[in-house]
Structure 1
Amino acid sequence: MGIGSWAGLWFALGIPLILMMYLLKRKFIDTPVPSHLLWRRVLENTEANRPWQKLRNRLLMWLQILAAALLAFALMRPFLWTDAGTGGTLVVVADVSASMSAIYASEPGDSETAVAPTRLDILKSEILADTRQADGDLTLIRMGGSPQVVASAADDQASWNRAVEELEPDYARTSYREAISLASAVAEGQQDARIIVYTDGQWSERVEDLPVSVPVEVRRIGGERYRNASIEQFGTDGNRAVGVVANTGNSVLEVGVELSGDGRAQGKETLALQPGERQTVTFDRAEAAEVYRLSLAGLSDDYAADDDAFAFPESGGAVKVLLLSDGNLFLEKALRLSGAEVTRLDLSGNAPTADTEASDTEEGAGKTESTAPPLPEEQPDIVVVEGELPASLRSGTWGQWLGNAARWTIGGKEEAGQPGNRRVELTAHPITRYLSLTEPYFGPLTEGRPAGLQTLLSIGGRPAIAAGTENGQRALWFGFNLQSGDLPLNSEFPVLVSNATTWLSGGRGGGLGRAISGAVVEVPIATGAESALWRPLQGAAFEKNGGATQAVNGNPTSGSGEHAGLASSQVAPSVPGLYAFEQSGNGLEEAPVYLLDVRADASESTAPTAENPVFGAMAATGTTGVSDDMAPNTANGDHRSRLPLTIPLAALIIAIMLTEWGVYRRGRSI
């Protein structure tokens, strides 16, 4: 026999209260009255109270004491150990949360091996060993981010073994309550049904208030030793990278912390951490990078899912545009409406043009360099040149600087002969998407169409807009002056500028931040995208198969990656690491690429508690919650279930109360 909760013993204090009531009970004396003259004096004597009487053998008192004792005993939730047997319906709940991927260590002195089994490996072997001789129906429930019935009423041992062996860790936030509710619903109404939960006890939710009407048994997987260091926070601030490293285990650790940017090492420190201690580490970033990685090196801990974190510079997603123009309010406003950061450089009157290029050459290259304006503080992503690019900006430092950015050239010297008709023809391209451009007047066409660019718009058979690649950078050419026509006044002009900015930025997407595996992430979807996928770049997902790009627990497209679909609300990949959200479609040459740091649920990093708090006080009728100290000894093969005594005791208390009512009605005759 066992006791579910010793707290019910407090209700046994009702027994001395019952005895006290009988000790203080008023006692009346039967006295013959010979005359009514003495009635008043006798009445006063018979109403006298006689406290602290000698207890008499009364059946009513013993029934009340027995009822109080049984009530206190029932509130202690007693149970009897019984042989579990192999018949009936068995519902197995397998905990596949992120913490189950930790290395199994039963004792503090266990030796560390090169290939150590994980808690999930031990869980699988325990399930297979316990169900090898089962002759009833077997149901396997996978307890992860969303509970799932993996095998239902299986009576084929081969298929059951295969379902157990295929269990994999789930790094999402585990739905513990939903899994127990599902197990209860499956077992409800089944003959001789019982539930066995295999877990490491590292739960973030309590389920004691759930109505479970069948016996529940908990098999604990894990041990006393737990070595783990975790990166709790990581981010970049200006020229610094700051991280918070914590020791979530129960052993002293010496941790190496490494910072890298785009795969290049930028710093390393060593920390000594006591159990439960956390320290902040700061690095000065040596060079700019698109993505930074903070990782724990030289540490052999039990749980590796929290050893990496990624961060993205705050300005990673902004598109910087340098506008070289004498002044065009409509163009500048349209660029800003597209979300770009615009810096305008007015070169009118102080920079030589193509007409003065010959004189500049005669005086020497030194003059060209001296007449150039100072370089802006930041390298632009796009350079928009309205008119002709000054000769002083075509060579030297400016020439090298502008060669690293995409270029959009607008207008120039007008041609002598113009087309006879103004018929507009468009070619499908991301720049011309959603546009007709049949209404605006473009003005006279200009000279100097670059060779090798694809014509996107022609007027009277002559190129007016062309796009392509020059010197490894994207290039866009408008063969007309914006001031000579009414295109800037047309409603399609902002759309044209937005399309041009998006295409010229070369698919620049930036970072989406950090998300827990399985969480919903908002991702901008490119116009024309027909399919998308998550591609692993770094971390556990990328390194799992020797660094090969692979599908990660999803439906692959194009042979690799995790299929994402076209909705703006996307589910983060299931394995921690750095991912790129890639989109594709007909006519979509290059869509923005967005980076996401996927992490496991932080609550899975902490050390399991010494006692399992999950099934400490299941309150529903018939529930047999098992705390860790009361669970059967699975190591010795003693697999037993518990028979609750709450219902029989409740029935006995009701019977005693009915008997007590009968005694009360009969009065003093008993």
Structure 2
Amino acid sequence: MHFVGVPLATLLQIGALAGAVVVVFYILKLRRRPVAVPFEKLWERILRDKEATSLFSQLKRLLSLLLQLALLALLLLALGDPRPAANILEGRNILVLVDASASMKATDAAPSRIEAAKEEVKRMVRGLSGSDRMLVAQMDAAVTPLSTMTSEIPDLEAAVASIKATDAGADFARGLRFGVDTLRGLSSPEIIVVSDGALGPTVDAAGPVELGDVRLSFVPIGSRSANVAITGFSVRRYPLDKSRYEVMLEVTNTNDEAVDVELSLFGDGQLTDLSQIRLGPKERLPRFYPNLSGASKTLEAKIAYANGSRDDLPADDHAFALLPERRRARVQVVTTGNMFLEAALLLDEYLEVTSVDPSKYPAKGNFDVTIFDGVTPNVTPGSGSLLYLNPSGENVPFEVGKPVEDTDPNYRLGFDELDEKHPILRYTVLSDVNIGRARPLKGEKEDKVIGRSYKGPILIAGSRAGVKFVALGFDIRESDFPLRISWPLFLLNTINEFVEEDVQYISSFRTGTVWQIPASSAAQIATLEMPDGAKRDVPVKDGRAVFLGQQAGFYKLSTGPDEVTTFAANLVDPAESEIKPATELVVGGRAAGAVGEFKVGVRREIWIYLLAAVLLVTAIEWLTYHRRVTV
């Protein structure tokens, strides 16, 4: 017999102390208080009758003491939790990995696969033998242990109740490695995977997961697999017309037969497009929606069977995106006067232009872009990115050559070589621009030559200390460039490249990954409001809030009363949308077996019977006391 609760040595010490206390109180109970009474002669006869029964009285008092000591012994034994040695050796150490990925939200098992999985685990918990121990862990993009390795039924049932499916895939390799590490060195180790089988590979950065002597068991969940899904969704504004945007999405049919579906687009909560399409068996169909308008902030896409049939996985029928904020770019123009430049800047209503004479530079405030037209003053902080037009001074981050003129009748001065894939040349044609006079520009090794004449580079781009610049090596008034539609396009493309609204903007994050969310670099902690309304604090490092996102929808990140960022997240994972349940699980060529015996019933633990005996002895003590047997 072994004591797995309080150690035997501790029990003996407690028993000796408590037994001594019981005996002392018992002796004090037997001590009689002398009372003076009259008529002593009358009491002598009664006392002589009492002596005849003294032996019986002593026996009664001894029985009372024995009952009290028996109660104490039973309570101490219950604290020790005695178990046979055979049970100690044969007990299992079980880790239950419950798949909580998005596919477990499927409703083919009422009310859902995750609820069916929780019921299976509850049956295992209630069927644990007295020597078994179990740890319950939730497996999604991370592995979250929800209990300790314990045999306490209430703790395990509370852990099972806290399981909740997410909108992310399951990292099966991480889950198995956690299980192997947890069970290492324990007797009869076993990993039980409760899942629909939509699990990834069992290989991670450390290589294949080796189970060793750990037994692997599998509890399959799910029955059907009718599902259509949105597996891609993004949006971008047009660079030169920020009131309009384009949408790209992808829909997938995971079924083995063709289906008709309805695809809906919502802008700011209002229906903007409704179309019915037919998807072939296992077809992934991209859809492109150009030149849309009517939404200023949020976009949502929904898909459903056209005939009203039930989709077994609603989690991937809804996708979210956020349009880039249409903020005004602050532009500072340092010029003595240039009608062509000022007119081109009027074409974009989202430009806030401030013109300043070179002698009064800089203007008050901070700017996103500063345009130096024929001047090169010392750049002051707050000027933003820089556009040099016809630079000629020394205060520039590149070399400016001597002027060259278009005097050679055999060679026209213009753009002979162009990097037409560069963003600032989008929608432009510069190859036929005629230039009267220009200055060749020479940047550093890391700078980009965008346009070159036979006399040298005349359009370059680069950055210095994190500040971007673009330089055009001629005065636009000494060319026919401002007479072409390419001039305002070039100017607005350059400003748009500096502002970077369309270059780096992410319309939605993908669930199941670590997000790097732009935040105030002065903050260390940000408050993140989840799609379900819950709030939590997340750390901020180098101007980025770091968070493992596992829920689709719209989020709000706040680092202060006036610093709130809204963003979206989506489950766009074709693997999770393939919800056909698996009937077997194979890891490293080894098939998982069936789950061992778990019988719901009374657990054969001796301490339970000891407590029952305590109650019985207490009842006997109460009955004999009130019947005047032990008094």
Q: Does 1:307 align with 2:307?
A: no
Would the aligned equivalents of 1:326 and 1:346 in 2 still touch at CA under 8 Å? no
Write the distance in 2 (CA, Å) between the matches of 1:263 and 1:378.
28
Displacement of 1:174 in angstroms is: 2.2
Write the distance in 2 (CA, Å) between the matches of 1:288 and 1:157.
53
**Alignment of structure 1 residues 437-452 onto 2, 5 Å:** none
**Which residue identity lines up with residue 213 of structure 2 in the other structure?**
S
Could you tell me which residue of structure 2 aligns to residue 573 of structure 1?
Answer: 549
Could you tell me which residue of structure 2 aligns to residue 199 of structure 1?
Answer: 195
Write the distance in 2 (CA, Å) between the matches of 1:219 and 1:252.
31
**Which residue identity lines up with residue 295 of structure 1 in the other structure?**
K
Deviations 1:472-497 (A, max 9, x none): xxx99xxxxx99xx996365454799
**Which residue identity lines up with residue 550 of structure 1 in the other structure?**
A
Could you tell me which residue of structure 1 aligns to residue 220 of structure 2?
Answer: 220
Write the distance in 1 (CA, Å) between the matches of 2:545 and 2:114.
31
Displacement of 1:180 in angstroms is: 1.5
Would the aligned equivalents of 1:89 and 1:193 in 2 still touch at CA under 8 Å? yes
Could you tell me which residue of structure 1 aligns to residue 606 of structure 2?
Answer: none
Would the aligned equivalents of 1:293 and 1:309 in 2 still touch at CA under 8 Å? yes
**Which residue identity lines up with residue 626 of structure 1 in the other structure?**
A
Write the distance in 2 (CA, Å) between the matches of 1:141 and 1:157.
15
Q: Does 1:614 align with 2:602?
A: no
Deviations 1:23-51 (A, max 9, x none): xxxxxxxxxxxxxxxxxxxxxxxxxxxxx
**Which residue identity lines up with residue 565 of structure 1 in the other structure?**
V
Could you tell me which residue of structure 1 aligns to residue 117 of structure 2?
Answer: 123
Deviations 1:565-602 (A, max 9, x none): 34426224321123344332xxxx74473634343644
Could you tell me which residue of structure 2 aligns to residue 489 of structure 1?
Answer: 378
Q: 1:632 to 1:591 in 2, by over 3 A?
A: closer
Q: What is the DSSP-based 3-state SS (H/G/I as helix, E as strand, rest coil) of the residue aligned with 1:607?
A: coil
Would the aligned equivalents of 2:552 and 2:570 in 1 still touch at CA under 8 Å? yes
Q: 1:89 to 1:264 in 2, by over 3 A?
A: same
Write the distance in 2 (CA, Å) between the matches of 1:509 and 1:279.
26
Could you tell me which residue of structure 1 aligns to residue 490 of structure 2?
Answer: none
Q: Does 1:293 align with 2:300?
A: yes
Would the aligned equivalents of 1:177 and 1:206 in 2 still touch at CA under 8 Å? yes
**Which residue identity lines up with residue 265 of structure 1 in the other structure?**
L
Write the distance in 2 (CA, Å) between the matches of 1:378 and 1:494.
20
Displacement of 1:123 in angstroms is: 0.6
Could you tell me which residue of structure 1 aligns to residue 559 of structure 2?
Answer: 583
2:181 to 161, 182, 185: 185
Q: Does 1:272 align with 2:278?
A: yes
Displacement of 1:149 in angstroms is: 2.4
The TM-score normalised by the length of structure 2 is 0.51
Q: What is the DSSP-based 3-state SS (H/G/I as helix, E as strand, rest coil) of the residue aligned with 2:549?
A: coil
Could you tell me which residue of structure 2 aligns to residue 533 of structure 1?
Answer: 527
**Which residue identity lines up with residue 278 of structure 1 in the other structure?**
R
Would the aligned equivalents of 1:94 and 1:197 in 2 still touch at CA under 8 Å? yes
Q: Does 1:143 align with 2:136?
A: no
Q: What is the DSSP-based 3-state SS (H/G/I as helix, E as strand, rest coil) of the residue aligned with 1:126?
A: helix
Q: What is the DSSP-based 3-state SS (H/G/I as helix, E as strand, rest coil) of the residue aligned with 1:579?
A: strand
Deviations 1:516-554 (A, max 9, x none): 324233344434335423345xxxx3xx4xxxx333xxx
Write the distance in 1 (CA, Å) between the matches of 2:151 and 2:596.
27
Q: 1:374 to 1:121 in 2, by over 3 A?
A: same
Displacement of 1:294 in angstroms is: 1.9
**Which residue identity lines up with residue 574 of structure 1 in the other structure?**
Q
Would the aligned equivalents of 2:365 and 2:382 in 1 still touch at CA under 8 Å? no
Would the aligned equivalents of 2:301 and 2:318 in 1 still touch at CA under 8 Å? yes
1:94 to 76, 82, 98: 98
Q: 1:241 to 1:635 in 2, by over 3 A?
A: farther
**Alignment of structure 1 residues 462-477 onto 2, 5 Å:** none
Would the aligned equivalents of 1:226 and 1:251 in 2 still touch at CA under 8 Å? no
Deviations 1:258-302 (A, max 9, x none): 112233321111223344123343435143534432222466312
Write the distance in 1 (CA, Å) between the matches of 2:187 and 2:382.
73
Kindly report the root-mean-square deviation, in angstroms, between the aligned alpha carbons of the 2 structures: 4.5
Would the aligned equivalents of 1:317 and 1:508 in 2 still touch at CA under 8 Å? no
Would the aligned equivalents of 2:106 and 2:313 in 1 still touch at CA under 8 Å? yes
Q: What is the DSSP-based 3-state SS (H/G/I as helix, E as strand, rest coil) of the residue aligned with 2:314?
A: coil
**Which residue identity lines up with residue 184 of structure 1 in the other structure?**
V
Write the distance in 2 (CA, Å) between the matches of 1:178 and 1:510.
31
Deviations 1:135-192 (A, max 9, x none): 2211112222222322122222111100011011233342212212222232333233
**Which residue identity lines up with residue 233 of structure 1 in the other structure?**
G
**Which residue identity lines up with residue 171 of structure 2 in the other structure?**
S
Write the distance in 2 (CA, Å) between the matches of 1:93 and 1:576.
23
**Which residue identity lines up with residue 489 of structure 1 in the other structure?**
N
**Alignment of structure 1 residues 30-41 onto 2, 5 Å:** none
Deviations 1:455-511 (A, max 9, x none): xxxxxxxxx9689xxxxxxx99xxxxx99xx99636545479999x9xxx9x99984
Write the distance in 2 (CA, Å) between the matches of 1:286 and 1:86.
69
Could you tell me which residue of structure 1 aligns to residue 347 of structure 2?
Answer: 377
Q: 1:94 to 1:216 in 2, by over 3 A?
A: same
Identify, as 1 or 2, the structure richer in strand.
Answer: 2
Write the distance in 2 (CA, Å) between the matches of 1:86 and 1:104.
38
Write the distance in 2 (CA, Å) between the matches of 1:636 and 1:275.
44
Write the distance in 2 (CA, Å) between the matches of 1:270 and 1:381.
40
Write the distance in 2 (CA, Å) between the matches of 1:294 and 1:381.
31
Q: 1:250 to 1:325 in 2, by over 3 A?
A: same
Displacement of 1:219 in angstroms is: 0.9
Q: Could you tell which deviates more after superposition, 511-520 or 118-127? A: 511-520
Would the aligned equivalents of 2:510 and 2:572 in 1 still touch at CA under 8 Å? yes
Could you tell me which residue of structure 2 aligns to residue 595 of structure 1?
Answer: 567
Q: What is the DSSP-based 3-state SS (H/G/I as helix, E as strand, rest coil) of the residue aligned with 2:119?
A: helix
**Alignment of structure 1 residues 543-554 onto 2, 5 Å:** 544=532, 549-551=533-535
Write the distance in 2 (CA, Å) between the matches of 1:267 and 1:304.
20
Would the aligned equivalents of 1:616 and 1:626 in 2 still touch at CA under 8 Å? no
* Aligned-residue identity in percent: 19
**Which residue identity lines up with residue 308 of structure 1 in the other structure?**
H
Write the distance in 2 (CA, Å) between the matches of 1:266 and 1:161.
47
Q: 1:214 to 1:241 in 2, by over 3 A?
A: closer
Write the distance in 1 (CA, Å) between the matches of 2:340 and 2:548.
42
Q: 1:311 to 1:381 in 2, by over 3 A?
A: farther
